Amino acid sequence: MAELGKRNEEFLRDMDIFHRDMDGSPSTGFWECPECGADWDGCAEECEECGCDRECAEEPSFSWNGCDCCGSMLGGDLHPMIGWLKGAQAGAFADKYRWEGRACTDCLVFFANGDLPEP
């Protein structure tokens, strides 16, 4: 088996640290409409309050801000992500357990299928 390489070892360490606070892996999206703050209906294509198009709102955008998951400070596309913090199940999935952030493409691919970034 090939060595992971320093970059992937660091990436896996960062993912382990991130997952310690999470109840499962995050998924793409927002809890609330980024335009008006109304709750997203789980299957609505647009916000019932302001008409914001969900698909457009959830598109990744380029940013020099760091990834909220692995901490990478490289510029690139960041994807809006949501997830549940530890204790969410026991807390009946109350709002205080909601997590929202932005993930780099490497993290998005890792959450989706476990693939590590290219060396």
What are φ and ψ of residue 102, in 5° steps?
Answer: -130, 135
The structural domains of the chain, with segments of one domain joined by +, span: 6-28+61-113
Q: Looking at residue 60, what is its pLDDT?
A: 92
pLDDT digits (tens, 9 = 90+) for 40-83: 766 678 888 888 888 888 889 999 999 999 999 988 999 999 99
Using pLDDT thresholds of 50, 70 and 90, give the confidence band for residue 103: very high
- Percent of residues, the chain, with pLDDT higher than 90: 26
- Decide if 83 contacts 97 (C-beta within 8 A): no
- Decide if 73 contacts 66 (C-beta within 8 A): yes
Nearest one of 55, 54, 85 to 68, comparing CA atoms: 85
Q: Which two tokens stand for residue 70?
A: 């692995």
CA distances to 54, 59, 68 from 74, in Å: 27, 19, 12
